Amino acid sequence: MASAGAAGAPGAPAPPRVRRSVTGTRRTVAALFLLPALVLLGALVVYPIGYSVVRSFYDQSGDGFAGLDNYKALFTDDGIRTALKNNVLWVVFAPTVATALGLIFAVLTERIRWGTAFKLVVFMPMAISMLAAGIIFRLVYDQDPDKGVANAVWVGVHDTFAQSSAFPKAHPGRQSPLEAAQGGAFLTREPVRAGDPVSLPLVGVPPDQMPGSAEKAAPAPAEPGKVTGTTWQDFTRGKGVGTLGAPDPSELGYAGMRIEAVKDGKVVASTTAAGDGTFTLPEAADGAQLRLPASNFKEAYNGLDWLGPSLVTPAIIGSYIWMWAGFAMVLIAAGLASVPRELLEAARVDGANEWQVFRRVTVPLLAPVLAVVTVTLMINVLKVFDLVFIIAPGSSQDDANVLALELYRKGFSEDQPGIASAIAVFLLLLVIPVMWFNVRRLRREVRR
Amino acid sequence: MTNPVKAERSLGGRIVEKLGGGAVRVFLILVGLFWLVPTIGLLISSLRSPEDMSASGWWKVFAEPSQLTVDSYQKLLENGDITNSLFNTVLITVPATVLVVVIGSLAGYAFAWMEFPGRDWWFLAVVGLLVVPVQVALIPIAELFGKVGLFGSVLGVILFHVGFGLPFAVFLLRNFFAEIPRELLEAARLDGAGELRLFTRVVMPLGGPAIASLGIFQFLWVWNDMLVALVFTNADSQPITVALQTQVRQFGNNIDVLAPGAFISMVVPLAVFFAFQRQFVSGVMAGAVK
Does position A177 have pLDDT exceeding 90, yes or no?
A: no
The reply to whether residue B136 touches residue A30, judged by beta carbons under 8 angstroms, is no
Q: Is B137 on the interface with A (CB under 8 A)?
A: yes
Q: Which residues of A touch B58 (CB under 8 A)?
A: 139, 147, 149
Report the range out of A167-176, A244-253, B70-79, B157-166 with the highest average pLDDT: B157-166
- Write down the pLDDT at residue B160: 94
How close, in Å, is residue B133 to chain A by CA atoms? Answer: 7
The CB-side HSE value for A156 (13 A sphere, CA atoms) comes to: 8
Of residues A363 and B92, more confidently modeled? B92
How close, in Å, is residue B273 to chain A by CA atoms? Answer: 6
CA distance A370 to A336: 11
Q: Which residues of B touch A91 (CB under 8 A)?
A: none
Q: Characterise A25 by phi-psi region: left (phi > 0), alpha (psi -120 to 50), beta (else).
A: beta
Does position A237 have pLDDT exceeding 60, yes or no?
A: no
- Write down the pLDDT at residue B114: 81
- Write down the pLDDT at residue A5: 34
Out of B59, B115, B284, closest to residue A20 by CB: B115
Calculate what percentage of chain A has a pLDDT beyond 70: 89
Contact in structure between A251 and A276 (CB atoms under 8 Å): no
The reply to whether residue B270 touches residue A124, judged by beta carbons under 8 angstroms, is yes
Q: Is B254 on the interface with A (CB under 8 A)?
A: no
The reply to whether residue A20 touches residue B166, judged by beta carbons under 8 angstroms, is no
Q: Is B262 on the interface with A (CB under 8 A)?
A: yes
Q: Is A411 on the interface with B (CB under 8 A)?
A: yes
Q: Which residues of B touch A136 (CB under 8 A)?
A: 38-39, 41-42, 262
Q: Is A154 on the interface with B (CB under 8 A)?
A: no
Q: Which residues of A touch B16 (CB under 8 A)?
A: 108, 111-112
- Write down the pLDDT at residue B164: 94
- Write down the pLDDT at residue A21: 54
Chain A residue with minimal CA distance to B272? A127
The reply to whether residue A411 touches residue B139, judged by beta carbons under 8 angstroms, is yes
Contact in structure between B108 and B174 (CB atoms under 8 Å): yes
Which sign does the torsion angle of CA A48, A51, A57, A62 carry? negative
- Write down the pLDDT at residue B4: 41
Q: Which residues of B touch A30 (CB under 8 A)?
A: 110, 114-116
For chain A, helix (H) and strand (E) counts, in that order, are 15, 8
Q: Mind listing the pLDDT tens digit for each residue in A67-124?
A: 788 888 888 888 888 899 999 999 999 999 999 999 989 888 887 788 888 888 998 8
Q: What is the pTM of this model?
A: 0.78
First to last CA, chain A: 19
What crossing angle do the helices spanning A130-140 and B255-275 adopt, rounded to 10°?
130
Out of B127, B134, B179, closest to residue A5 by CB: B179
Chain A residue with minimal CA distance to B14? A354
| Nearest of A206, A205, A309, A306 to residue A257 by alpha carbon | A205
A-B Cβ pairs (cutoff 8 Å, strict): 363
The reply to whether residue A45 touches residue B272, judged by beta carbons under 8 angstroms, is no
The reply to whether residue B248 touches residue A127, judged by beta carbons under 8 angstroms, is no
Of residues B68 and A235, more confidently modeled? B68
The mean pLDDT of chain A is 82
How close, in Å, is residue A33 to chain B by CA atoms? Answer: 5
- Write down the pLDDT at residue A133: 92
Does position A236 have pLDDT exceeding 50, yes or no?
A: yes
What's the DSSP call for residue A128? Answer: S
DSSP string, A80-113: HHHHHHHHHHHHHHHHHHHHHHHHHHHHHHTT-T
Does position A16 have pLDDT exceeding 50, yes or no?
A: no
Does position A296 have pLDDT exceeding 70, yes or no?
A: yes
Q: Which of residues 281-340 of A touch B (CB under 8 A)?
A: 322, 327, 330-331, 334, 336
- Write down the pLDDT at residue B282: 77
Three-state secondary structure readout of B130-151: HHCCCHHHHHHHHHHHHHHCCC
Q: Mind listing the pLDDT tens digit for each residue in A86-95?
A: 999 999 999 9
How close, in Å, is residue A306 to chain B by CA atoms? Answer: 15
The reply to whether residue A390 touches residue B141, judged by beta carbons under 8 angstroms, is no
Chain A residue with minimal CA distance to B185? A22
Contact in structure between A101 and A95 (CB atoms under 8 Å): no
Q: Which residues of B touch A15 (CB under 8 A)?
A: 178-179
- Write down the pLDDT at residue A59: 84
Of residues A405 and A213, more confidently modeled? A405
Any idea which of A263-277, A325-339, B47-61 has the lowest mean pLDDT? B47-61
CA distance B262 to A128: 10
CA distance A136 to B209: 33
- Write down the pLDDT at residue A428: 92
Does position A12 have pLDDT exceeding 70, yes or no?
A: no
Strands (E), A166-265: 178-180, 186-188, 198-202, 227-233, 258-263
What are the φ and ψ backbone dihedral angles of B152, each rounded to 5 degrees? 85, -5
Selected for mutation to probe chain B from A35, A40, A345 (highest B CB count within 10 Å) is: A40
Q: Which residues of B touch A36 (CB under 8 A)?
A: 103, 106-107
Which sign does the torsion angle of CA B158, B160, B165, B167 carry? positive
ipTM: 0.87
- Write down the pLDDT at residue A151: 80
Indicate the pLDDT class of residue A152, thresholds 50, 70 and 90.
confident
Q: Which residues of B touch A431 (CB under 8 A)?
A: 131-133
A277-281: average pLDDT: 88
Indicate the pLDDT class of residue A4, thresholds 50, 70 and 90.
very low
DSSP string, B187-240: HHHHTT--HHHHIIIIIHHHTHHHHHHHHHHHHHHHHH--HHHHHHB-TTT--H
For chain A, how big is the Rg over CA atoms in Å? 35
* Beta strand A278-281 pairing with A266-272: unpaired
First to last CA, chain B: 48
Q: Is B178 on the interface with A (CB under 8 A)?
A: yes
Where chain B has pLDDT below 70, the residues are 1-21, 252, 287-290
- Write down the pLDDT at residue A348: 80
Indicate the pLDDT class of residue A3, thresholds 50, 70 and 90.
very low
Q: Mind listing the pLDDT tens digit for each residue in A373-384?
A: 898 898 889 989
Does position A276 have pLDDT exceeding 50, yes or no?
A: yes
- Write down the pLDDT at residue B10: 62
Q: Which residues of A touch B8 (CB under 8 A)?
A: 341
Q: Which residues of A touch B289 (CB under 8 A)?
A: 2-3, 372, 376, 434, 438
**Domains of chain B: residue spans and CATH:** 4-69 (no CATH), 76-286 (1.10.3720.10)
**Domains of chain A: residue spans and CATH:** 27-141+307-446 (1.10.3720.10), 178-296 (no CATH)
CA distance A164 to A145: 14
CA-angle at A176, arms to A175 and A180, nearest 5°: 125
How close, in Å, is residue B64 to chain A by CA atoms? Answer: 15
Does position A343 have pLDDT exceeding 90, yes or no?
A: no
Q: Is A443 on the interface with B (CB under 8 A)?
A: yes
Indicate the pLDDT class of residue A164, thresholds 50, 70 and 90.
low
What's the order of all strands across the beta sheet hosting A178-180? Answer: A178-180, A186-188, A289-292, A258-263, A266-272
Out of A33, A354, A379, closest to residue B109 by CB: A33
Q: Is B2 on the interface with A (CB under 8 A)?
A: yes
How close, in Å, is residue A310 to chain B by CA atoms? Answer: 20
Q: Which of residues 421-440 of A touch B (CB under 8 A)?
A: 421, 423-425, 427-428, 431, 434-436, 438-439
Selected for mutation to probe chain B from A55, A446, A448 (highest B CB count within 10 Å) is: A446
Does position A304 have pLDDT exceeding 60, yes or no?
A: yes
